[in-house]
A and B are shown apart, each in its own frame.
Chain A
């Protein structure tokens, strides 16, 4: 299960979050845990360099992309490597939508589009589409495979 996808800005304010199968009362803890994790470790990290953490049997992979940091949390089959895969899809979708490495402003400008992309990437806690072009098509309400 991909438990959470979370995007925060450099100050630690959360811009996007998608929780799946996380009880409401635990989300608060996850949020602050992730934000703190980012604040502690993401300084000076290169764009898209993947960092890893774990808590019990839950894995966390996170990275920084321009002004935003992206966190994905998963368990079971979504281990650190699967999450790396997922975060790669997410970062490339974000870059695609924004046209470049996003600044916070750019990210917010494209907020709606990014939400739609995310919707195609993670569907009910499972990674769905990983192919960039396919995501692009689906977001434009085109069939996943074009004829």
Chain B
């Protein structure tokens, strides 16, 4: 019997499509799974349903529906005779959902018979569990069973299914149950106007039934009562009616059983005890478990009251739930909770009993509770209470369970939730390093101990831990514990230990940031320790728990020990890098990054990361996570900008293909801003070092790895590196002026000087002597404009223009001259030695940039022309000694505005200060403005205004002082940080939100599978993994678009985002069309982006690193949409055209293409496929120069399908 059931179930769930599925199986399973949209991708059993058109789908829908409904009707009508013989037949055949439903109805009617019960238990119910939701029309039968059946197992299943019907709230009938997808029953019922049963119909009946059971006080009934209560908690909490009913039941039960007067002495004595007390305890458990699942109402004192009672319940699970409820309540009202707990926290109280409770999660909840209360500000005037809770927390540090101990350490460190507060963290580090743990009593459970506990020297504990009883510094204890955890073989323990060290590093960084090293006694951070100190002095004899012993804290010896302890811990941490699990290693690296202090050498860290990155098994998401850690580290300690940039550089060179260029850029930018005036040059150098890398050599992977060699052996990562270089070039152009503090509008050079320095050599010499940073950047960009690939050259030219516009003389002139020659192409022979041919046709103009550069040059030309004009005019006026007329001023002003508009098209400049006509025009423009009451900032004609970015730009620009010549630092910083947003607002937003999300510890979003070939499939799919993925590639893209928004980005994102950074697609409109169209063409993109921009970002970056961007995360769908668009672009853009622009359609259509491998190809990543020359493959798809191919039989590595470069395969 069991065998036959197993057989059919196997048929249902087995993955092997070749197994003998009786012919009837395919249609039935297909029919039951056809309706929900995702089923098409699961394609159960045979690929038949893939082609099911809408009509047949609807047909099957109707089929199921009529099946179930007729069955329901049958059940609802008790007169109807039951049809036993049918059941016998079913035994042989695999069962469809409709059949299952029918048999439930039938068997329910005959549930008093043993055979039907057996049938239900062994066949029907287990099979029904396979489906992810339960048809509401089954409810009547289930309720009938509930009423009539006596069999416990049947009843247990009944409760299970009733709960599932109640909980079935997901859209499209998707309950969290998983399993074979089922149709949306309600929708089905709606189709059939006559007799459909919807959830709305049955839920009240189920609730009524369960309620009455939950209220049944019969002793024999109480197990069912518990299950009924449990099932009730699954009712949707949105229905206030049901909710209040459940509350009523729960509190009703607690009223009866929770009051402690009759409680037995032996609190943990669940073993013995009389029946009555056990039933009480069971009911207590059930009620508290249910209460825990219901929404908490902090305002209702009943919750607090019952939870406090629950702490002393006999059932450990109940205790856990009450502690969890309490710790949740404590976050909102610690005072009330502390007061309510009253005696429980005192020695011998219920909370101390929890310390020895055999329930890890209960102790974890206790740690959280104690932490919250001991840190509560509202208890400032009750230091005694706080220290009592604190002492319980410290005792948890000795807990045998790592989970509890680590939680306690994290609590001590000031990490409770994701809200990071620097002061709290710093205080945490202070606590950890300075406090002394003095243990009050042996962790023995003996009640008698509570009397003798006051004697500090109670040595009568039997366990071995008595040796460690003497007071010891917290840090020592923690370090020892961590070190021993690092010796564990269990990966979760290693991971957790590394995470604790990571958090420790955070707290330490915060302590450094606050300057806690020699802490002032008056600072509020210290207030707790102070008060506990005084408390200790008062009650020195009786006090247990901690005492702050300042003698250890101050004095060099104390510091040395901490340093020593840390050093030995870090040694252990470093060795953990040898763990084979990348996730553990990632956590270790994060911990190392956090523990890295700014003034230590980071050579070791660098080499660890360098060698780690050579390991190809690192998934991209993890690497990006580490990049984000760098970001967070920087926010905590801005002084480490240069170090962090160095580390980031390793990422850029080692794994260009795996990291998200958005995040990297953001890191560059924030580091640059944060590096401060002294570090700016170094920071920029660190970024641009990417540009100085030699082009990747094929096979460089096999050379001895040093961090300066590029590991881009395969075309894909070479491409990614290329894009990274583009990003760097763009970054350089955008930020060089900031880094060099060179701005046209505050240039010290007198206007005439530049014109006299027309000799190029002299000019360069003068420039570099005056500002080496800018000169260095210029040189790099000039080199890129020549020697990069065409994409890089374009961006370099753009970057140069930006710099030309923003810089004063002589730089502008220098760039102008350079661009001029570049356009003419005549420089090529001159600079032939500089030029490294990359095999591309340079085009008629030598660099291929002529058409691009000419509009840029035109702007500069116009500026110079207008400047000449102005000087001429001024001379004329001076010579003639006449005033400027309003007419003339107006003309001047118009020219000024027109040039501003033009300039604004290329890059952002502060309109109020920027003087395209040179510094001399300032006075005249000012005169005109005051005369005509034109506000300098109200540049409404600015295209930036029209496109909506100016909102945020002007927000920071407005409060600047009026005098234009003293530009204050804040503005410059804010501006420079914001200015990036000008160009890449829309694209940067996702990175920004990712960073913020990371910083705030958010992130439950589903991960994206890095390997785009792995399908995400609904459960129960029968298909071969690859075969299906091939069929569905287009659908997968749809999925990614609709739901992958905030998922971590895979490799794809590098391709997706970066190209549009530089307006890759916008070049044509930027340079060939009228300015007005350019503005409007971008407007959509920018308007979309500005929503996610962070106006306060730049402003904050200096003064408050712990309070950055409090922006709401972007709406769920928008960024994905945007990303998706930018994902499309590179495919449509010139990138794919350069591959000869294969016709994409031919591959996505059904008939497959075949090809032969021309060369051997070694897979460079998980998604790639090894090829042997001559191998025949089936080409499924082409993406961006890669074929997705399938082999006839698996290769040596067992892979059947994957990506190979287009050029490696000849199509037959």
A residues contacting B by CB (< 8 A) are: 3, 6, 9, 11-22, 24-33, 35-36, 39-41, 50-59, 61, 75, 77, 79-85, 104-105, 108-113, 115-116, 119, 123-124, 126-130, 138-147
Identify which of B176, B1009, B1020 contacts A14 (C-beta below 8 A).
Answer: B1020
Determine if B227 is an interface residue (Cβ-Cβ < 8 Å). Answer: yes
A sample of 17 more A-B contacts (CB under 8 A), given A36-B1010, A126-B293, A141-B227, is A13-B1019, A25-B1042, A26-B1006, A32-B1009, A33-B1006, A39-B1014, A59-B495, A75-B1004, A79-B403, A83-B492, A84-B490, A109-B9, A111-B127, A140-B153, A144-B315, A144-B317, A145-B282
Among residues of B, the one whose C-beta sits closest to the C-beta of A8 is: B1019
In Å, the complex CA distance between A53 and B621 comes to 12
Contacts A/B (CB < 8 Å), 8 sampled:
A33-B1009, A75-B1004, A81-B492, A84-B490, A108-B10, A123-B289, A140-B153, A141-B155
- Decide if B93 is an interface residue (CB 8 Å cutoff): no
Q: Which residues of B contact A58 (CB under 8 A)?
A: 1003-1004
B1048 touches A55 (CB 8 A): yes
Q: How distant is A86 from chain B, measured CB to nearest CB, in Å?
A: 9
Q: Which residues of A contact B1016 (CB under 8 A)?
A: 28-29, 31-33
User: A57 contacts B418, CB within 8 Å?
Assistant: yes
Please judge, given known A-B contacts A13-B13, A82-B403, whether A18 and B1001 are in contact too, CB under 8 Å.
Answer: no
A81-B403, A124-B293, A145-B278 known; A50-B1019 Cβ under 8 A: no
Question: Which of A29, A33, A81: most chain B CB closer than 10 A?
Answer: A81
**C-alpha gap A22/B1025 in the complex (Å):** 24
List of A residues within 8 angstroms of B1004 by Cβ: 3, 21-22, 26, 56-58, 75
For residue B824, CB closer than 8 A to chain A, the reply is no
Cα of A127 to Cα of B321 in the assembled complex, Å:
10
Q: Let me know if B1039 is at the binding interface, CB within 8 A.
A: yes
* Chain B, 967-1021, CB within 8 A of any chain A CB: 997-998, 1001-1011, 1014-1021
Which residues from A are CB-within-8-Å of B364?
Answer: 77, 82
Asked if A112 meets B157 with Cβ closer than 8 Å, knowing A12-B1025, A18-B177, A124-B233, the reply is yes
Cβ-defined contact, A105 with B15, below 8 A: no
For residue A26, which residues in chain B have a CB less than 8 angstroms away from its CB?
1004-1006, 1043, 1047
Identify B279's interface contact among A22, A28, A147, CB under 8 A.
A147
Closest to A109 in B: B6
Q: Would A31 and B1003 be within 8 Å (CB), given that A20-B176, A51-B581, A142-B223 are in contact?
A: no
A35 to B581, alpha carbons, bound, how many Å?
17
Residues of B within 8 A of A109 (CB): 2, 5-6, 9
Q: How distant is the Cα of A109 from the Cα of B12 in the complex, in angstroms?
A: 12
| Bound-complex Cα distance A14 to B279 (A) | 39
Interface 9-mer from B166-174, B565-573, B639-647, B941-949: B166-174
CB distance from A130 to the nearest CB of B (A): 7
Determine the chain B residues whose CB is within 8 A of the CB of A55 once the complex forms.
621, 1003, 1007, 1048
Interface size in chain B (residues, C-beta < 8 A):
111
Contact call B1017/A32, Cβ cutoff below 8 A: yes
The distance in angstroms between the C-alpha atoms of A75 and B621, with both chains bound, is 18
Residues of A near B1021 (CB, < 8 A) are 13-14
- Contact indicator A32/B178 (Cβ below 8 Å): no
For the complex of A and B, the 4 pairs showing the least CB-CB separation, nearest first, are A56-B1003, A112-B126, A17-B178, A32-B1016
B512 interface residue per 8 A CB criterion: no
Query: Smallest CB–CB gap between B591 and chain A, Å?
Result: 13
Which residues of chain B are near A52, meaning CB under 8 Å? 491-492, 494-495, 581, 583-584
CA distance A53 to B495 in the complex (A): 8
Among candidates B171, B223, B278, B496, residue contacting A24 with C-beta atoms closer than 8 Å = B171
Q: Which residue of B163, B292, B587 contacts A54 across the interface (Cβ within 8 Å)?
A: B587
Q: How far is the CA of A115 from the CA of B134 in the complex (A)?
A: 14
Q: Kindly list chain A residues whose C-beta atoms are within 8 Å of the C-beta of B279.
A: 143, 147
Q: How many angstroms from the CA of A104 to the CA of B13 in the assembled complex?
A: 10
The chain B residue with its CB closest to the CB of A106 is B6
Q: Do the beta carbons of B360 and A28 come within 8 Å of each other?
A: no
Closest to B156 in A: A141
Give the distance in Å from the alpha carbon of A142 to the alpha carbon of B160 in the complex. Answer: 14
Decide: B282 and A13 in contact? CB cutoff 8 A.
no
**Residues from 157 to 190 in B contacting A, C-beta threshold 8 Å:** 157, 159-160, 163, 170-172, 174, 176-179
Question: Any chain A CB within 8 A of the CB of B481?
Answer: no
Please name all residues of chain A whose beta carbon is closer than 8 Å to the beta carbon of B160 when the two chains form the complex: 115-116, 119
Q: Give the residue name and chain of the B residue nearest to A15 (CB).
A: B13
Contacts of A119 in B (CB 8 A): 160, 163
CA distance A3 to B1005 in the complex (A): 11
Q: B275: CB under 8 A from chain A?
A: yes
B629 to nearest A CB, angstroms?
12
Q: Is the CB of A57 within 8 A of B170?
A: no
Residues of B near A127 (CB, < 8 A) are 361
For residue A35, which residues in chain B have a CB less than 8 angstroms away from its CB? 1014
User: Which residues of A are found within 8 Å of B584, using beta-carbon distances?
Assistant: 52
Q: Complex formed: what's the CA distance from A57 to B223 in Å?
A: 38
Q: How far is the CA of A83 from the CA of B159 in the complex (A)?
A: 27
- Judged by a CB distance under 8 angstroms, whether B129 is at the interface is yes
The verdict on A29 contacting B1043 (CB below 8 Å), with A56-B1003, A75-B1004 known, is yes
With both chains docked as a complex, state the minimum distance between the C-beta of A78 and any C-beta of chain B, in angstroms: 9
On whether the beta carbons of A85 and B625 are closer than 8 Å, the reply is no
In the bound complex, residues from chain A placing their C-beta under 8 Å from that of B491 are: 50-52
Cβ of B743 < 8 Å from any Cβ of A?
A: no
Residue of A nearest to B175 (CB): A19
Q: A50 to B121, alpha carbons, bound, how many Å?
A: 33
